[in-house]
Chain A
Amino acid sequence: MNIHNYEKLWLVLAMVMIIGFISTVVYGATAVGIEMVNDEGGTIDSTALEEDDRFAEPRVERVGDNEYEAYVVARQFIFEPDPIEIPANSTLTFYVTSPDVIHGFEVVGTNANAMVIPGEVTELTVELNEPGEYGILCNEYCGGGHHTMEGKLIVQPEDEFEQGGNDE
């Protein structure tokens, strides 16, 4: 087969480009540690959230040095707890579920964005280094009040953080 030199050149470039695309994604998954939100949060009886230790009382819990877990219930048309408060320089794992319909859970303007499905627990871990405030919103149409469904994630400066919601 007689392939013209130029054609060989752009065939090779196309291959190089595809390899480049794949390797950047591999780089993100390995070196940076980007994960996809998957089903590892497991399932739950959506009609009995009040019997679940995590979701009966939606809250943020400290589980280690700078490690927190937020048990969030997304329901028509609120997020609980609201706001979610956390100190800076911490790792936060959200566990989000819904007792009614499918909702979205998006920390506005970031890559933390997932679907919340009744009967499933959505699990996602993020790192919060800088103090600040983020909006949380539902991005799956969930009923008449969908457009009002929002919450807040507040990252407090470390020295100002006190565990408000936890009575101990």
Chain B
Amino acid sequence: MSGENTVREIGHDEFDPYGTLALILIYFAILSVMWVFMYFVEFLGNDLTVLA
């Protein structure tokens, strides 16, 4: 695998895409906040809820 232009070779577990991880964590945080807002504020807070 190591050719002329290879600067550094790393193994499977040494590769740490922390940028991707950060993006995914932000995405998860947004989803969680939006879910809480949608369900608890917009839906449960929208009174005259059907109870039977």
Query: Using a CB–CB distance below 8 Å, which chain A residues touch chain B?
Result: 2, 4-6, 9-10, 13, 17, 20-21, 24-25, 28, 32-37, 91, 93, 107, 109-112, 114, 123-128, 134
Contacts and interface: CB of A to CB of B under 8 A. Distances in A.
Contacts of A134: 48
Given A9-B21, A28-B44, A2 B51 contact: no
A112 B52 CA distance: 11
B52 A17 contact: no
B48 A4 contact: no
A125 B32 contact: no
Contacts of A33: 51-52
B28 A125 contact: no
9 contacts: A2-B12, A6-B21, A10-B21, A20-B32, A34-B44, A111-B43, A112-B50, A127-B48, A128-B48
Interface residues of B, number: 25
B13 interface: yes
Given A123-B52, A126-B51, A128-B48, 19 more contacts: A4-B15, A6-B17, A6-B21, A9-B21, A17-B28, A33-B51, A34-B49, A34-B51, A107-B48, A110-B46, A110-B47, A110-B48, A111-B48, A111-B50, A125-B51, A126-B49, A127-B48, A127-B49, A134-B48
A110 B28 CA distance: 29
A91 B52 CA distance: 10
B24 interface: yes
Contacts, number: 76
B25 to A, nearest CB: 8
Contacts of A110: 46-49
A126 B51 CA distance: 6
A28 B45 CA distance: 12
